[in-house]
Amino acid sequence: MGIQDRYQAYADAFEETYEDDDWSRLEAYFTEDASYAAGSEVARGRPAVLERLKTSVDGFDRRMDSRIPDFDPPSVDGDTLTMRWTVRYTKAGAPDLAISGVETAVFDGDRIRELGGDFDPDALKAMGEWMAAHGALLADG
């Protein structure tokens, strides 16, 4: 199985995990010493990576009424996969929010050693404006 297929399996497992909150399902996709960098913060070690992913999902995605991800076909260069994504969120009482960015996964064999993500600059601006205007709606989940 190539890294593109393995990443797709991870992405599918992530969506299952989003639905049932069973984060142990994702352990098989990360090396023990994996890292996850989003913005300036870096989680190091598989347990910290999974906790960071869960915290992110719980703190934002699960507080929305719906989440619709869309992924462009990834590109692969050696052990590195890069994939552009867009996620559209809905929340009653607020306009829809669409954010986008790029995720990069560096593999060690069939496991992710480094996972990183960056929002597009326009997405950061849109998210900041949306949160300023409607963020209070997220307080109740």
pTM across the whole model: 0.90
The number of folded domains in the chain is 1
Name the strand (E) or helix (H) holding 110.
none
The C-alpha R_g of the chain, in whole angstroms, comes to 15
Contact call for residues 105 and 14 (beta carbons, < 8 A): no
- Pairwise CA distance, residues 49 & 4, whole Å: 20
Q: Is 115 exposed, middle or buried (0-12, 13-18, 19+ CB in 10 A)?
A: buried
- Pairwise CA distance, residues 57 & 69, whole Å: 13
At 22 the pLDDT is 96
- Pairwise CA distance, residues 78 & 103, whole Å: 16
Per-residue pLDDT of the chain (141 residues; tens, 9 = 90+): 799 999 999 999 999 999 999 999 999 999 999 999 987 889 999 999 999 999 999 999 999 999 999 999 999 999 999 999 999 999 999 999 999 999 999 999 999 999 999 999 999 899 999 999 999 999 864
Q: Where are the alpha helices (DSSP H) in 21-88?
A: 46-59
Name the residue range of residue 66's domain.
3-140
Q: How many of the other CB atoms lie within 10 Å of CB of 43?
A: 19
Q: In this structure, what CATH number is given to the domain that contains residue 43?
A: 3.10.450.50
Longest CA–CA span in the chain (Å) reads 46
At 39 the pLDDT is 75
At 41 the pLDDT is 85
Which backbone phi and psi does 99 adopt, to 5 degrees? -125, 155
- Pairwise CA distance, residues 115 & 131, whole Å: 26
